[in-house]
Every structure is written in C-alpha cells, then in structure tokens.
Structure 1
Amino acid sequence: MTNTDPESVVREYYDLVDADRYDDLVALFSEDVRYERPGQNAIEGRDALLAFYEEGRPLEDGSHEVHDVVVDGDTAAVRGSFSGLQSGDAVEFGFADFHEFENGEIARRYTFTDRDEV
C-alpha cells in the first residue's frame, strides 16, 4: 500500500473489490478488523474477511461508484452506488460505508444499504 491517507485507502478498497483482488484488499485492513452489516453476523479478522470475499459475498460481477468521501479524523464516510449481480439477478443500489482507521489500516467497517443482504 503506497498511500495511507483515509480517502486514498477507501478509494483503493473499492477499486480492489471491483477487480476481485481480494488478497490486496484484505491487506488494507488490520489483523483484528471487524466488519459489521445490519442483520448479519460481524466478520472478525483478516482470515474471515478474506473468506467472506472469496466465498460468502452475495454480490458479484459489479462495480462501485463512489459519490462522496468525507474524512473526519480517523473515520472515512463513503456514499456511493453499486451495480452488478446478486445471486444471478441484476441489482443497483445505494450504500453508505464507514471505515475507521488505526495505524493507517481499516480497523472497523460498517455498511448500510437498502437491501437485506450484501
């Protein structure tokens, strides 16, 4: 990772997830990362996060469009939209993500969408 400012890191995150570069993506997170999504169990640790992206993520073949990134201290808030496939069906929806940083890495991530599962 060449850039450690929160806005650059979160923009890199979306580029990596859209490119299916999950090993590089997980390297942006701390070893004990916690990723929370409403109504679903939290994902804890890099290994669990990698397993989620490789096997458990219901979204596929899509791309994120980042509309806004607001950084306040160690937190980056992102508003954007995703279009792609979920379980084989075309989907498009908005999202809000919050990334909390510690030592230049994403330590906690929270995702909010208008969908039941992402």
Structure 2
Amino acid sequence: MTRPDLRQRTRAYYDAIDGDDYDQLTSLLAPSFVHNRPDRTIEGRDRFVQFMREERPQTDTTHPVDALYCRQEDSAVEPADGDNMETVEVVARGRLLDADGERIVGFVDVFTFAGDDIERIETYTH
C-alpha cells in the first residue's frame, strides 16, 4: 500500500530546513540517520542537525521540490484485492536556490524510511 504520509514527511524535511526549524527536523529523523552527499557523509541525527544549524555553507536557501516519486516493494502477503505494495523509498527531484532565488544546484534526494522516520538520504547533484 502506498504510504502518502512518507511523501508528506519528505516535504516536511525541506520545510524544516528552509524554515530553520531544527526541532521539526529532529522529529523527522531516525536516531541512526545517515546523509550521503557528494561532498561528505554525515552520520547520526544529532550530528546532522548540528551541521544544518551551525556548519552548512549557506543557510539562507530554499529547496523547491519539482517532483516526488515513490519506489514500492512487494509485501510478503498478497491481499485479495492485489494491493500488495508498500512504499520503501521516496525520491525528491528539486533545486537548491540562494537567497535571491538563483539556482545553486539541481538535486535528487533518495529517502529511505524506518517506519515513519527518515533513516537515510542519498543526495545526487547536477
């Protein structure tokens, strides 16, 4: 079954970063969260939130998301109605914009969830 709440949680992640809402960001991430990005890997929810709050190169940015895609995986049990799919990843395609609205980079983020918590993000940029 598709889990639309995971798409909402993906959007909430970007809202939290763009709004500097670090309590909200913390609530979305699993304690064992890992972010793999082209320039570094950040391990642990607390470490990632600290990076976003204190160390990221530009803080006055926005992340418009142009599309969200869900990758689904067959579940072990097939319901009679054939609805046997569960969302296991959400992929976000978007742009990172500076304070003037100028494009810094395009990105694709692949979100993996542990229950409702974001467990891992793999970031690809262009």
TM-score normalised by structure 1 residue count: 0.82
- CA radius of gyration, larger in: 2
Structure 1: 5+ residue stretches without partners: none
C-alpha distance in 1 between matches for 2:58 and 2:10: 19
Structure in which a larger fraction of residues adopt strand? 1
Instruction: Report the number of matched residues.
Output: 107
C-alpha distance in 1 between matches for 2:106 and 2:39: 17
Match of 1:56 in 2: 55
Runs of 4+ residues over 6 Å off in structure 1? none
Structure 2: 5+ residue stretches without partners: 72-86
Q: Secondary structure at the match of 1:5?
A: helix
The CA RMSD measured in Å over matched residues stands at 1.8
C-alpha distance in 1 between matches for 2:54 and 2:106: 23
> For 1:20-59, what per-residue CA distance to the aligned partner results, in whole angstroms no more than 9, with x for missing partners?
111211210101111111242x211111011111112112
Matched, 1:102 2:101: no
Equivalent residues in 2 for 1:75-94 (5 A)? 75-84=89-98, 91-94=103-106
Q: CA deviation at 1:83?
A: 0.8
TM-score normalised by structure 2 residue count: 0.77
